[in-house]
Structure 1
């Protein structure tokens, strides 16, 4: 991983610990023009759209223990399922599912340079658990840093879209 990508990963971890939510982080990275992983390394991500940062990408980065420098084995397992349980001849489809925690193995020694410390990674996992434990209502009502709006519009919310009848804002697709 290059220095640029490493700096982005570190920034994501720091922003999350500073109180930013995953969607706010994605919005801010898009606003700052930071290329998403599929745009930064298209040869590794031919199957993905290069449509900017998504909150699911932020979650995947925050949950990836490889950034601590240790090799992790067995996080996913391949499971083959029948396409049609009533017709075995229809064949199977292979899916990947998360492995149970007991089957995941971490190397004893670091396998590559760490992008974030084990302490920072652990702090993020505890923070994620803390945010989840209060439930959606508690987390939604909690004060947190939101990404600043790029522009403010005087008529925002006062004009309705002629197609969908919703209040128009700066990002209306109509």
Structure 2
């Protein structure tokens, strides 16, 4: 099936094309990707609504789509043994699940809607079909991911420098 004839998945509402395009153009993972490719991804994206309390994804399940919160609020929690560790709530503009588009990955956190929430959603299947059609995007996307990882590591190490100095433990790289 060609990308131009793909139909939205059940449960996904059409996203206003220009709104989707504007959002996708601002995502760091797509920085520098040709506009024609981002337009295809915008066309293939959709909106999905979640009721308060509903899961967007569960910890440990396969990440088969990415989410951009359009409205509402989500909370994340990670189950560690018998203890649930909560993280700050996030709202409009929060993006997650992008790495799951690139390779097999499992959700490290459960994400639930705190309030009625609407998200822009792009599935892994649609992203990968687009990447197959435009293989020249891979170096740019991978460069964006590597840059993001290094910026995260630098911030993490700066924030935990004292802790690392007293314990003698410091990771050198996420990779």
Question: Would you say same fold, with TM above 0.5?
Answer: no
TM-score, normalising length from structure 2?
0.26
> More strand per residue: 1 or 2?
2
TM-score, normalising length from structure 1?
0.26
Which structure has more relative contact order (CA 8 Å, sep 6+)? It is: 2
